[in-house]
């Protein structure tokens, strides 16, 4: 069990440091809504702040900050509980939970500190923009993707074992 939590600590610390440093750099060096093209018609660094969840959900709600803080705390506690339940051999699942945990904590820090989340990664195809995101959001998405891969691999292993 100690190795799972050690891995969680290492992965989470690395992601949290990277997430918070990038957000501080963006906040200090960019004006709000300032954008710098990285790859023409595909990717830019654009400083925005998101008061809501994904795609700005609940951005104008009076309960948004307490709600998002509560959700992040419950999700983090659930991840820690789930991590305790799995075996040390489930490395991919441990990595995925660590990434999701780090992403949740990274955005939680912003919500507590600022009441909103700093986003700056702007993927787009010409004028068609995906909502801006950050390192914490990326960690969550990659973590969920790895969890899906782990579930798929487990399903294949179970079918072979029948």
Helices (H) and strands (E) in the chain, counts: 4, 4
Instruction: Specify whether 119 is catalytic.
Output: yes
- Are residues 99 and 140 in contact, defined by beta-carbon separation less than 8 angstroms? yes
Please state, in angstroms and as integers, the Cα–Cα distance from residue 26 to each residue in 82, 96, 113, 116, following that order.
34, 27, 16, 15
Tell me if residue 35 falls in helix, strand or coil. Answer: strand
Catalytic: which of 19, 119, 122, 150?
119
Q: Two tokens at 46?
A: 């654009």
Catalytic: which of 19, 110, 137, 150?
137
Instruction: Specify whether 110 is catalytic.
Output: no
Q: Where are the beta strands (DSSP E) in the chain?
A: 35-39, 43-50, 117-125, 128-129
Catalytic center residues: 119, 137
């Amino acid at each position: 069990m100690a190795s799972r939590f050690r891995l969680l600590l290492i992965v989470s610390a690395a992601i949290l440091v990277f997430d918070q440093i990038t957000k501080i750099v963006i906040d200090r060096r960019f004006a709000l809504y300032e954008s710098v093209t990285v790859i023409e018609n595909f990717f830019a660094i654009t400083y925005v702040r998101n008061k809501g969840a994904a795609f700005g959900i609940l951005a104008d709600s009076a309960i948004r900050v307490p709600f998002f803080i509560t959700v992040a705390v419950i999700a983090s506690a659930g991840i820690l509980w789930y991590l305790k339940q799995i075996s040390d051999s489930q490395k991919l699942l441990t990595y995925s939970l660590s990434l999701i945990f780090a992403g949740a904590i990274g955005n939680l820090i912003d919500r507590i500190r600022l009441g909103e989340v700093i986003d700056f990664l702007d993927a787009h195809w010409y004028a068609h923009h995906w909502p801006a995101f950050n390192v914490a959001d990326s960690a969550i998405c990659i973590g969920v993707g790895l969890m899906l891969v782990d579930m798929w691999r487990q399903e294949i292993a179970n079918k072979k074992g029948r």
